[in-house]
Structure 1
Amino acid sequence: MSFLARLKPDPEGVLVQAASGILRSPRAAIAAFVCLALVLIALIGPFLAPQNPYDLASLDIMDARLAPGGESFDGHVYWLGTDGQGRDMLSAMIYGLRTSLGVGLLAGVVAMGVGTTLGLIAAYFGGRTDALIMRVVDLMLGFPTILVALMMLAVLGQGIGKVILALVIVQWAFFARAVRSAALVERGKEYVEAAICLGLSKPRILFGQLLPNCLPPLIVIATLQVASAIAAEATLSFLGIGLPITQPSLGLLIANGYQVLLAGLYWISVFPGVLLALLIFSINIVGDRLREVLNPRLEQR
């Protein structure tokens, strides 16, 4: 085992600690199970959905606005009802879950990559580089995230790529600030100084030495920001400036039923809303538990 390997904490141990901490909490374990189940449903959604809700050839306007448990003329039962276009709500929710999860995860991963890189650079180089990056971070965090996303999409227009870009721009600063704080603590430790003396390149020091020791706060921030991205996308789609109707998400499904909610057609809006709330609450519960597990003082308390 090399000298650096003996000095550097094991990142795999952090992941094992996080997993065991979740399993020790019944509430967090149930939330994690719900998250995994929803991800699995999203992955195999086309095989589970009784209908492709966005294939016009499979829709019949005569089946529009059927109540949960209603039957079509050909005897098909819609267990969660249909919407105004005759789409099976169960199938629409499965496809909407795929879109919402995809946007949230992709935006979170890209924002984590950008923010982590800039946070490590700011902590390692310091000086003017640190000051410049952190002033931009302070500027980004000084505005409400949903307001910045609204302004960007008002200029860029609708589209899944544009929504992801807007979410990345409003979220990377959270990762940069958290990673910089953790990296500043590690910057002066022995294994970093040893890596510098051994002549390792700056990318190897940043991502091979500093980054593994920033995993605890990074894991927590990533989990919470994925939930935040899903909620932000749903809000933008509900307001009509997020995803187009050809790429519907859970937020757009809720918006479709909002107009007829008071007319008694509750299932068009309520069922997607319950699924969205279940997804966000489960991710947040897991994130809160990770924050407790990976922070020794909170875990002791």
Structure 2
Amino acid sequence: MTDQPISRRAWRLPSSDTVIGRAFNGLVTSPKALVAAVLCIALVLIATFGPWLAPQNPYDLAAIDFFDARLPPMSPSMTGSVYLLGTDGQGRDMLSAMIYGLRTSLVVGLLSGVVALLIGTALGLVAAYFGGRIDALIMRVVDLMLGLPAILVALMLLATLGQGMWKVVLALVLVQWAQFARAVRAAALIERGKEYIEAAVSLGLSKRRILFGHMLPNCMAPIIVVGTLQVASAISAEATLSFLGIGLPITEPSLGLLISNGYQTLLSGQYWISVYPGLLLLVLVFSINIVGDRLREVLNPRFVGR
């Protein structure tokens, strides 16, 4: 038995000929986008390991001391520990509440983005491939959804269904899928006229295989761009809904709900209850948008060569 040398290919950067390679190279060659991507990864890791990183479970009544309510940052607790970012009106540690709120906001944003991506991508491919009445019907629905105010539609739906994470996700999916359908249809129309699709049809391949095995991989660029931007949009929309009191319930607080809980105390000088969650939400959404804008510059053919 002889030792085989490790192939250098395993350690190479992604090829710039692939969508993933172009996206990766585009991010690492832009300092601003690279910093934003690192921030996004760090926030996702913090949210993932939140229960282990947070100083306390802010929603465990046994761990909350109501005598510690509205303490400013760096205040000592009754047990001798320090509240780095202060406490809210219920005596919950703000740092812990923000970590848990970040976790909830990311779950809602990513989940609604993925579901909207799946629905919109499938409908966009079908509309582009079959054309005719099917295309016209799907695109009229897309035009209708894009013409409606997204927040207003979500508000009306949640006012009917009530509060809850899955209901918020459903409302966000309803207002997001049309963006994916329009972008994927535009890319798929270009691919439909290429020779490899004609060859696949002449070989008798099934429509499912042509759509998802051949056309879909070549439409990944707009899917990645729209998906990134829509996650940020979903997080912002969920924060707005929760701030208005119609999004997530108190038992599943997000960053928007944390901001709502403390905005009434801003004038009394207790700024930390709303300002710190607001800054975290700003950093999260701003970072995702910077990454999305950079991916659009790199992957959108109209920007190539600029």
Give the TM bin, normalised by the shorter chain: over 0.9
Aligned-partner Cα distance in 2 for 1:205–1:114: 18
User: Structure 1 residues 136, 296: CA separation in 2 closer, same or farther (over 3 Å shift)?
Assistant: closer
* SS of structure 1 residue aligned to 2:25: helix
Aligned-partner Cα distance in 2 for 1:235–1:11: 38
Aligned-partner Cα distance in 2 for 1:56–1:197: 66
1:185 to 186, 190, 197: 190
Q: Which residue of 2 aligns with 1:28?
A: 33
TM-score, normalised by the number of residues in structure 1: 0.95
In structure 1, the gaps of 5 or more residues are: 1-9
2:84 to 66, 73, 79: 79
Q: Which residue of 1 aligns with 2:144?
A: 139
Deviation at 1:144, TM superposition (A): 1.1
Runs of 4+ in 1 over 4 A off after TM superposition: none
Deviation at 1:72, TM superposition (A): 1.4
Q: Which residue of 1 aligns with 2:238?
A: 233
Q: Which residue of 2 aligns with 1:158?
A: 163
* SS of structure 1 residue aligned to 2:303: helix
The question of whether the paired residues in 2 share the 8 Å contact of 1:11 and 1:215 is answered with no
* SS of structure 2 residue aligned to 1:75: coil
Identity %: 74
Q: Which residue of 2 aligns with 1:3?
A: none
Greater helix proportion: 1
TM-score, normalised by the number of residues in structure 2: 0.94
| 1:292 corresponds to 2:300 | no
Q: Give runs of aligned pairs for residues 18-97 of structure 1, distance below 5 A.
A: 18-97=23-102
Aligned-partner Cα distance in 2 for 1:11–1:120: 25
| 1:198 corresponds to 2:208 | no
Which AA in structure 2 matches 1:68?
A: P
Deviations 1:223-256 (A, max 9, x none): 0000000000000000000000000000000000
Deviation at 1:54, TM superposition (A): 0.4
User: Structure 1 residues 125, 87: CA separation in 2 closer, same or farther (over 3 Å shift)?
Assistant: same
Q: Which residue of 1 aligns with 2:10?
A: none
The question of whether the paired residues in 1 share the 8 Å contact of 2:16 and 2:25 is answered with no
Which AA in structure 1 matches 2:57?
A: N
User: Structure 1 residues 296, 127: CA separation in 2 closer, same or farther (over 3 Å shift)?
Assistant: closer
Deviations 1:145-179 (A, max 9, x none): 11110111010100000000000000000000000
* SS of structure 1 residue aligned to 2:18: helix
Which AA in structure 2 matches 1:260?
A: T
Which AA in structure 1 matches 2:250?
A: I
User: Structure 1 residues 265, 226: CA separation in 2 closer, same or farther (over 3 Å shift)?
Assistant: same
* Alignment RMSD (CA, Å): 1.2
Deviations 1:188-229 (A, max 9, x none): 111111111111111111111111111111110000000000
Deviation at 1:296, TM superposition (A): 3.8
The question of whether the paired residues in 1 share the 8 Å contact of 2:16 and 2:22 is answered with no
In structure 2, the gaps of 5 or more residues are: 1-14
| Corresponding residue pairs, total | 292
Aligned-partner Cα distance in 2 for 1:85–1:167: 30
Aligned-partner Cα distance in 2 for 1:219–1:76: 44
Aligned-partner Cα distance in 1 for 2:94–2:204: 60
